[in-house]
Structure 1
C-alpha cells in the first residue's frame, strides 16, 4: 500500500469514526420520535417477530407493508438483546446497526469527491456529510426511505465511478443495491430510472442495461416472493400500498399539502442558510450533474401526491449536500490558487469544516418542521425541537421494561402512536389508553403502573420518576387479568 493510499484510507476512516460516534451518541442521548412509522411500521412488527407480541397497525392488518425490513430488524433485536436489560439492549443494537448502515453516505461522499476533485474535495464533501445534523438525526431512524437511501447511494456510485470490479460485476452489484432500495421505497423508481439511463448511456448500452436490470430485478423478485408467502399474492404490499394510499386517498387522513411543500420544509429546516447551500450545490452540479438530476427526480416524484412528509425526500438531502461539498471545494481551491503549500490547504480545509459544523450545530438547535413558516420562525426558533420529541414517553416505557413488578401499564393522555409501543415497553403485559377520569376508573384494576404527560392525583398512586412532563406513577397490588393484546382490539376499532 503506497503512502497516498494510506493517507486517503486514514482520512476516510477518521471521518467515518467521527460520523459513527455522532450518530450513535445522539441516538442514545436524545431518544425521540420524528414520525410514528419509525416504530410501528418497522420496529414494532420486528418486536412481534422476535418476541411474540406487539401492536398491530392497519397497514399490517391490510397487508400493505413488506415483512423484509421488519424481519431484518427482528434478527438484530434477538442478536443484541444481551446489551442491556429490558428493551435497552436491542434498542441500542438497532441504533448501532442503522447508524453503521448510514456510513455508506460518508464513504460514497469521500469516494465521489475524490473522483471528482481529488483528496481536498473528498475530505470536504465527506466531512460535511459526517457532521450534517439531518444525517446524524435520521441515521438511526428505522424509516424505509432512510435505509433505502443508504443502499441507493453506493449503488449509484458503483454504476458511475466504481472501478474495483469487472464492468459486469460492478453493474450487477449496482443494480442489486438499486433494486434493494426500490424494494424498500418503490417511490425511488424515477431516481433509479435516471441513474440507469445515465449509467447505461454508452456504446455498449444493451449489455450494460441487461446486466444492471438483472441486478435490479433480482431483489425485487425476492420482495415479491416474500409477499406471496407472508400475505396473499406476490407484490401485494406494493400494489395495495399504491391502491389504498393513492387511489383511495387513505394517506390524506395524515395531511394534505401543496406541491411546493418540500421547498417549505427545506426553508424551515435550513432557514436563511438555504441560499448559500443552494448556490454551492449549483456550483457542484457543474462537476457532477447526475447528482443534481437524481435529487430533482426524488423531489419531483414526491411532490405529486397530496400527502407529504420531509422524510419522504430524505434521499435528496445527501445528494444536495454532496453537491454543496463539491461546490465548497471549488471555492476553496479558487482561494488556494495563490497558496499552494500543504499548511495553507490544511488551514483552508479545517476552517471550511469548522464553518459547516457550526452551521450544522446552529440549525440542529432549531430543528422543528412542525412550526408555521414565518420570518420570526426563520430568524429565531428556540425551544421544542425534533431532538426531544416524545422523549419522555420513550424513556418512561424503557424504564418500565426493566421493572419486574409490572402487570399492566396505563397511558393517560399519550397517543399509542407516540408511546413507543412494545418496542420500548417490551414486557408482555396489557396496555390501556385513557384521557379522562371515567376511562381511568373503568380500567384502573387492570394495571399497576401509569404513564402520564399531565400531573395525576389519584388515590393509591405515587410518582416514581419523571422526564419533563411525562411521569411514571405506581400503585401497590396486582392487576386484574386481561389479555395482553387487548390494545390491538381498541386500535382496530378506532381504525389505527
Structure 2
C-alpha cells in the first residue's frame, strides 16, 4: 500500500503544472504567427544555414565567401536538412521548406519558457508564472524564437542549460550537470564568441568539486562540442578548423569590419533607445533579480563586455544578455511588486499578479511597435516578394540580377526554381545586359537603373510597391522567349568568387 502511495506521489510530482502548460500554449500562440509573418532578421539565416541545407537536398545552391573560406560549421545546416527536405517534399514549388525550419526552431524555443518557470519556481509559484509568462510573450523572446541563426540556436540551448545548472546546485543531481553542460556546450559551439561569458556559469556550478561537478559538466560540454565535430566530419571537414578560419577572417583579416564598426558603448545606446521609459521599471526589477541570481547577471554583463570590445556589432550578438536581463527583471518585478504591496499594507494576490502580467504585455507591445525594433517586422519581405514574382513568370529559364546593392541577393532556396542565375554589375553592366540577353529572360533591377535594361524586357512590378521610387530596390522585368545560352562567366557563383563576396 505504501509503495502504491509512493508511485502516486511520484506521478503527481512528474505531472506538468497546468499553469506551465497554458504558458507553453501561449508561447506557441505568439511564436507561430511570427514564424509565418516574418522572413528573416539577418541574411545569414538563409544564406549560411537554409541555403546549404537546400543545396544538400537539390545539389543547387549559392555559396558565399563565408562558405568558401570555411568559417561556418555544418552543424546547423545539417540540423535544418530535415525540415527543409520535408517542406520541399510536401510543397516542391512553394515555400514550405522555408517555413518549416522556422516553425521547428519556434517549438524548440519552448525550452526558454521552461527555463523561466524553473528559475522562478525556486522562489515561488508566482515568480515562476511571471518569469515563464514574460519568456512566452516578450518580443525579443518571441521574435527571435523562430530565427534559423546561430544566435538563436545558442540561446535556445544556453537558457535551459543555465536553469539546469541552477537546479544541479540545489539537488546535486549529476544528470542535471551533464545535460546542462551539454546544452552549454551546444550553445558555445553554435556561437563560440560566447565562450568567455559561459565560463561564468561553469565556474559557478563546478566550484572546487571535480568528481561531483566538473566531471559531469565537462562530459556534457564535450558531448555538445562532439556533435559539431561529427557534423563537420560527415561533410568531409576537419572538426573545429572552422573556428580558426572564422577568427582569422574576422579578427586578423578584418572581414567583419566591412559590415560596419561601432563605438564600445553602442550596445548600451541601442538598449536605451529600445527600452526608453520602460527601462525605468526594468532597471530596479533587474537589480532585484540580480540579488536572486547573481550568476545570471554576471553572465549577461560578460556577454555585453566581450562584444563591446569587438568592432563589428549587431544587436543579435548580445541576444543572450538581453534575454537574461529580461528574465531577471521578470523575477525581480515580483519582488518589487510585493515590496510596494507591503509598503501600502496590502496583499499581493491574484489581482496584483494580473496587473503585473498586463504591464509586461503592454511593455512588450510598446517595444515591438516602436523604433528601433519595429524595423524588424519588414526585414526580408521585399526580396521574398521579388522572388515570388520571378518564379511566377511563364517560361522562366534564367534570372539576372542587375546592379543590385545587396550581394548575395539570389538564394536558390528562396527562388526554388530550376534555371540559371546571373549576376551583372559594374561599369560595363549595360553592355553586358544587352550582349547576354539569350542567357536570361527575367531580370531584377533597382528602380533607379530600370532604364538601362534592353528594350526587350517589359516591366512586371517593383518591391516594395508602396515605397517611393528611389527605395524600390527590386523591380522585376521579363522578356518573351527562351534562354539559348549558358550563364558562362556571369554565373552567379562564378561572379561571387571573382568579387570575393
| Same fold per superposition (TM over 0.5) | yes
Q: Could you say which structure has the greater relative contact order, defined with CA pairs below 8 angstroms and 6 or more residues apart?
A: 1
Bin of the TM-score, shorter chain as denominator length? 0.7 to 0.9
**Partner residue, 1:276:** 281
Matches of 1:420 and 1:355 in 2, distance apart?
Answer: 43
The answer to whether the 8 Å contact 2:401/2:445 transfers is yes
**Partner residue, 1:19:** 27
TM-score where L is the length of structure 1: 0.87
**Partner residue, 1:451:** 444
Distance 1:322 1:395, change over 3 A: same
Matches of 2:236 and 2:254 in 1, distance apart?
Answer: 22
Q: Pick from 236, 259, 263: which aligns with 2:264?
A: 259
1:360-439 counterparts in 2 under 5 A?
Answer: 360-368=364-372, 385-401=375-391, 405-417=395-407, 419=409, 421-434=411-424, 437-439=430-432
Q: Pick from 455, 458, 469: which aligns with 1:461?
A: 458
**Partner residue, 1:238:** 243
Shift of 1:146: 1.3
Shift of 1:367: 3.7
**1:256-295 Cα shifts (integer Å, max 9, x gaps):** 2222121122123223323322221111111111110110
Which ranges of structure 2 fall in alignment gaps of 5 or more residues? 1-7, 466-471
Matches of 1:454 and 1:20 in 2, distance apart?
Answer: 39
1:31-430 counterparts in 2 under 5 A?
Answer: 31=39, 33-115=40-122, 117-161=123-167, 167-201=173-207, 204-228=209-233, 230=235, 233-337=238-342, 338-340=345-347, 345-368=349-372, 385-401=375-391, 405-417=395-407, 419=409, 421-430=411-420
**Partner residue, 1:376:** none
Shift of 1:420: 5.8
**1:80-136 Cα shifts (integer Å, max 9, x gaps):** 324545241111101101111222111111121111x31211111121221211222
What SS does the aligned partner of 1:411 have?
strand
What SS does the aligned partner of 1:356 have?
helix
Distance 1:453 1:118, change over 3 A: farther
Q: Considering only aligned residues, what root-mean-square deviation do their CA atoms show, in Å?
A: 2.8
Shift of 1:163: 9.3
What SS does the aligned partner of 2:224 have?
helix
- Of 90-99 and 158-167, deviating more is 158-167
Shift of 1:174: 1.2
Distance 1:473 1:198, change over 3 A: same
**1:227-276 Cα shifts (integer Å, max 9, x gaps):** 45535533210111112211222222222222212112212322332332
The answer to whether the 8 Å contact 1:162/1:170 transfers is yes
Shift of 1:142: 1.6
Matches of 1:214 and 1:425 in 2, distance apart?
Answer: 43
What SS does the aligned partner of 1:307 have?
coil
Aligned residues: 476
What SS does the aligned partner of 2:289 have?
helix
Matches of 1:271 and 1:51 in 2, distance apart?
Answer: 47
Q: Pick from 434, 438, 441: which aligns with 2:434?
A: 441
Distance 1:483 1:411, change over 3 A: closer
**1:414-467 Cα shifts (integer Å, max 9, x gaps):** 345463611210223222334664453234332222334427465441426754
Matches of 2:456 and 2:392 in 1, distance apart?
Answer: 25
- Of 8-17 and 137-146, deviating more is 8-17
TM-score where L is the length of structure 2: 0.87
Matches of 2:159 and 2:128 in 1, distance apart?
Answer: 16
Shift of 1:209: 0.6
Matches of 1:217 and 1:453 in 2, distance apart?
Answer: 49
Matches of 1:20 and 1:399 in 2, distance apart?
Answer: 31
